[in-house]
């Protein structure tokens, strides 16, 4: 099961990183008191994607932002769950609890999906490519 989990996560992360790096949209100028948590909440409507911004900008210390720094805000690709068969769970970034994955759920960078034996999940990316 660990091999399936690692392979599935690696495949999804490669696909997400490819899409994110190709779809840069905005540049945010850091203001006094800004945090990646707040910036993520502003652009993505959830603070939990702050690591996507840190990773994309290759920030050595994501907690040390300086006013007037320019931070690139990547578009987070839309990834939808289109099918689930069997025992498939997800642990959302910022949580430590696994919950059942459902059709039409969104998947975000750093979410962790676990697929049980004889189980599958199908994800569809914005470009209509599919990972199963």
State the Cα–Cα distance between residues 100 and 11, nearest whole angstrom.
Answer: 20
Residue 110 pLDDT > 90: no
Residue 112 is encoded by which pair of tokens? 């962790």
Nearest CA-CA partner of 5 in 79, 78, 88, 77: 88
Strands (E), the chain: 24-29, 70-74, 79-85, 88-91, 98-100, 112-115, 120-125, 130-131
Residue 32 pLDDT > 70: yes
Over the stretch 116-129, which tens digit does the pLDDT of each residue have? 999 999 999 888 89
- pLDDT tier at 8 (50, 70, 90 boundaries)? low
- pLDDT tier at 76 (50, 70, 90 boundaries)? confident
Please give the residue that has the higher pLDDT: either 78 or 104: 104
Over the stretch 59-68, which tens digit does the pLDDT of each residue have? 988 888 999 9
- pLDDT tier at 1 (50, 70, 90 boundaries)? low
The H-assigned helical ranges of 27-66 are 36-44, 50-56
- pLDDT tier at 56 (50, 70, 90 boundaries)? confident
| Per-residue confidence (pLDDT) for residue 30, from 0 to 100 | 95
Mean pLDDT estimate for the chain: 82
| Per-residue confidence (pLDDT) for residue 11, from 0 to 100 | 52
State the Cα–Cα distance between residues 120 and 84, nearest whole angstrom.
Answer: 6
Distances in Å between the alpha carbon of 93 and those of 28, 100, 108?
A: 23, 15, 8
């Amino acid at each position: 099961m660990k091999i399936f989990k690692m392979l599935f996560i690696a495949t999804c992360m490669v696909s997400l990183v490819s899409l994110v790096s190709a779809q840069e949209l905005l540049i945010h100028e850091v203001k006094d008191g800004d945090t990646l948590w707040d910036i993520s909440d502003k652009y993505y409507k959830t603070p939990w994607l702050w690591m996507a911004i840190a990773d994309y900008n290759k920030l050595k210390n994501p907690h040390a932002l300086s006013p007037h720094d320019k931070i690139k805000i990547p578009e987070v690709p839309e990834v939808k769950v289109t099918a689930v068969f069997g025992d498939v769970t997800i642990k959302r970034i910022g949580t430590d609890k696994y919950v059942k994955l459902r059709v039409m759920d969104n998947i975000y960078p750093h979410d962790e999906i676990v697929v049980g034996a004889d189980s599958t999940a199908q994800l569809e990316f914005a470009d209509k490519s599919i990972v199963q």
